[in-house]
Structure 1
Amino acid sequence: MTAATELMDLAIVFAFVVVTLAQFLSMIRLVIGPGTGDRILALDTMVVNAIGMIVLLGISQGTRIYFEAAMIIAMLGFVSTVAYARFVLRGDIIE
């Protein structure tokens, strides 16, 4: 392997570690969050971290299917966060 390939592998491993740490910190905020807004924000952050992990998995394996899955999860994560926030604020989702 060349030095560039080894450096790229090291960068991907470092990125996995950092995103995993961010995911655990978001999970802690989800559990101990003092308010509902903190929990909603932690859940949205966990979705973003999961998308980052899926993209990193796609980069490390060199396949494109993970990027499509990340796009679908991003769309579902956005809609579910907005729906949950509306439910908490107004008591209903659809008026």
Structure 2
Amino acid sequence: MTATPLAADALLVGAAGLILLAVALLGRVVLGPTTPDRVIAVNVVGTATVVVIALVAAAVGEPSFLDVALVYALLNFLLSTGLAKFSIERGGVL
């Protein structure tokens, strides 16, 4: 089921807004003062990516994109837990 043209445009505008926020957050990933800041920023960028994929799937009416979003969400979770475990083992927790 495809969205109406107005709804599809609104979904794509929302996706574009999230992409802009994620790109702005990449500065925190690179310049973050502490390792936990960087881990959280990477997690937020990954979560925004999942939401963007879901919004695009709804806008174009392609439900198979949601499978990609689900796999990416699981990979994002594994990455976040791996980075957290790595930073704890190195003594990076404040």
CA deviations 1:38-67 (Å, max 9, x no partner) are 100010011001101111111111011111
What does 1:1-95 align with in structure 2 at a 5 Å threshold? Answer: 5-91=4-90
Give the gaps of 5 or more residues in structure 2: none
In 2, Cα distance between the equivalents of 1:34 and 1:55?
A: 31
Percent identity, please: 25
Compute the TM-score of the two structures, normalised by the length of structure 1.
0.83
| Alignment RMSD (CA, Å) | 1.6
* Higher-RCO chain (CA-CA 8 Å, sequence separation at least 6): 2
8 Å CA contact 2:7, 2:59 repeated in 1? no
Compute the TM-score of the two structures, normalised by the length of structure 2.
0.83
In 1, Cα distance between the equivalents of 2:62 and 2:71?
A: 16
For the pair shown, the structure with the greater C-alpha radius of gyration is 1
Give the gaps of 5 or more residues in structure 1: none
In 2, Cα distance between the equivalents of 1:10 and 1:70?
A: 20
In 2, Cα distance between the equivalents of 1:79 and 1:70?
A: 14
The count of corresponding residues between Structure 1 and Structure 2 is 88
In 2, Cα distance between the equivalents of 1:63 and 1:52?
A: 14
Shift of 1:22: 1.5
**Structure 1 moving runs of 4+ over 2 Å:** 4-7
